[in-house]
Structure 1
């Protein structure tokens, strides 16, 4: 290969830093505008459980129709999520309430969740306890990432309604700064809960049965890490009663002050902490570092290229007189050595 070919193939000075700088600038723009939106959404697939415990609770033992007090009640929510299109996830949810090892309540739910907003979508076989006529709305469990301080409808599948989760302020849970939201569900009859119960529950000494419905009153509080939308802790005060149809009176069916297990609080807080660092890096830290670095490298590459070009032009100009003198000398020699004609 000739020297001229080598010179032509050599990259101009500054090409590499300029290329790296352009790449970093592109990456700084892509991270918050493209990558963040794909990382911040809820996972399309996975399994998780939320286990809440109440000590000193009470419930109506329906095998004997007698009130049992001072027991531990465990309410476990199991979720199995599967992808449903590019933006949605199908959640199969099962809720079991257990007292002293005995099942006292069970219900299930299917809901389609928008992975970006965390809200339910009316679609594709949704149901609550087999009731496919329901139209679920509002948040299902998690908050959307990066959401501002605002109230949000939150669907209560038992009463088939979505009262607001109202923002109340900020707290600290497991070292994390979190937002506190509270939802109040006033006493509401649970749809399709009517059943035959002993009449003596409402009228001492009465014989036979009466039809009574289950009523639910609940105040639930969620503590949410705002960058990720992760629920770090939750508390629920539940009062369930039986009320006879077409008559006055009520009896307690269940009372419990439920709270998330301590190990789950710690685990969810750590999960939120790690995910928060990732999202913050994508949204602000990395772009703020990569952008200036890319700009400096791009500028440095341009400066090196200009210097290289100017030095090349200078050498060509400096050599021109020498080349001219050499040509003149050659011409003189040729003329001096020329033989005169006869």
Structure 2
């Protein structure tokens, strides 16, 4: 039989364990396990732009009002990264409706698995440029992203520009943060080969030009997971002559994430958010409540159980019981008749 003291010890131990476990889940397990994966998932993003304008470098002709498609594939470097850092390579291809390549870009960068901020490591590069410092966010937002501006690296202009927080919206049933970024025209490169003047509306058979680019982006990010759910990206690239005059638009397109990808990203982000709520909030709250109840119960006074013999002793005091061998045991009270004494009655 468990004694009242043993019951109190058990409740105190169980309640203390529940409170400690609740604190560990919230303050240690969640912060150390809520990380971006080392292997990217989803690993492929499809975007498309309707009614785009682009310059066909193969035929030296300008295409207007054509659909353009962009595919970005993420790959993890299996020989780089660690528990705190992921290293991904992004391969981005832009094609026309026939599948012919319009543009291709490749970059590699390591980033912090919790904050999403890039790290200088692992032989990062953008295109042919080695050692490019890709400052700011790379592929993901921070875990538990806040409604504030974040530095973001633009792989088109190769500049760090702020991603402004512009509000909260709902995408596929998820509460998401909306961020926007705009970059001014930036000189990207000098075109290697001169172009015929007629293409640029200029006289001459060979004109040197430089390529400039400007971008504007909108990201819809699920804040718990830091995963972008939807992206809208407007890219405008032009050719300028030495006098800094814009002569030809070589790309003008607004790319948007394919809806099937939006659905997949929302499902992945929703699963992460549900896990995060369970580990950081729900489970600690339940454990803390149970622990508090058990500790409170341990402080209540125990109920003393009395034996049956003790109860009988209280109901029939031992001094009132006749002893064995008493000659008067079992005798009833003497009868007294009016007008007679006791001795007369006995006679």
Q: Could you state the TM-score of these two structures normalised by the residue count of structure 1? A: 0.81
Unaligned runs of 5+ in 2: 311-347
2:165 to 164, 167, 188: 167
Distance 1:247-1:198 versus aligned 2 partners, 3 A rule: farther
Aligned 8 A contact 1:142 1:230 in 2? yes
Deviations 1:190-246 (A, max 9, x none): 146554322222235x34222222211111100111222221111011111111234
Deviation at 1:152, TM superposition (A): 0.7
Unaligned runs of 5+ in 1: 1-5, 319-342
Aligned partner of 2:30 in structure 1 is 36
Aligned partner of 2:180 in structure 1 is 182
Aligned partner of 1:72 in structure 2 is 67
Once residues 21 and 255 of structure 1 are traced to their aligned partners in structure 2, the CA distance between those partners, rounded to angstroms, is 64
Once residues 92 and 32 of structure 1 are traced to their aligned partners in structure 2, the CA distance between those partners, rounded to angstroms, is 33
Aligned 8 A contact 2:152 2:160 in 1? yes
More displaced, 172-181 or 246-255?
A: 246-255
Once residues 249 and 300 of structure 1 are traced to their aligned partners in structure 2, the CA distance between those partners, rounded to angstroms, is 79
Q: Give the secondary structure class of the aligned counterpart of 1:96.
A: strand
- Answering whether residue 119 of structure 2 is matched by residue 125 of structure 1, we say no
Aligned partner of 2:245 in structure 1 is 248
Aligned partner of 1:54 in structure 2 is 49
Deviation at 1:60, TM superposition (A): 0.8
Aligned residues: 303
Q: Give the secondary structure class of the aligned counterpart of 1:25.
A: helix
Deviation at 1:289, TM superposition (A): 1.4
Aligned 8 A contact 1:195 1:213 in 2? no
Aligned partner of 1:200 in structure 2 is 198
Once residues 297 and 249 of structure 1 are traced to their aligned partners in structure 2, the CA distance between those partners, rounded to angstroms, is 75
- Answering whether residue 302 of structure 2 is matched by residue 307 of structure 1, we say yes
Aligned 8 A contact 1:159 1:191 in 2? no
More displaced, 132-141 or 76-85?
A: 76-85
Once residues 184 and 193 of structure 2 are traced to their aligned partners in structure 1, the CA distance between those partners, rounded to angstroms, is 22
Deviation at 1:148, TM superposition (A): 2.0
1:209 to 206, 217, 224: 206
Distance 1:240-1:66 versus aligned 2 partners, 3 A rule: same
Q: Could you state the TM-score of these two structures normalised by the residue count of structure 2? A: 0.80
Once residues 44 and 67 of structure 1 are traced to their aligned partners in structure 2, the CA distance between those partners, rounded to angstroms, is 41
Within-5 A mapping of 1:1-342:
12-47=6-41, 48-82=43-77, 84-100=81-97, 101-191=99-189, 194-204=192-202, 206-246=203-243, 248-301=245-298, 303=300, 307=302
Distance 1:36-1:293 versus aligned 2 partners, 3 A rule: same
Deviation at 1:20, TM superposition (A): 3.0
Deviation at 1:171, TM superposition (A): 1.4
Distance 1:219-1:12 versus aligned 2 partners, 3 A rule: same
Q: Give the secondary structure class of the aligned counterpart of 1:13.
A: helix
Once residues 192 and 133 of structure 1 are traced to their aligned partners in structure 2, the CA distance between those partners, rounded to angstroms, is 20
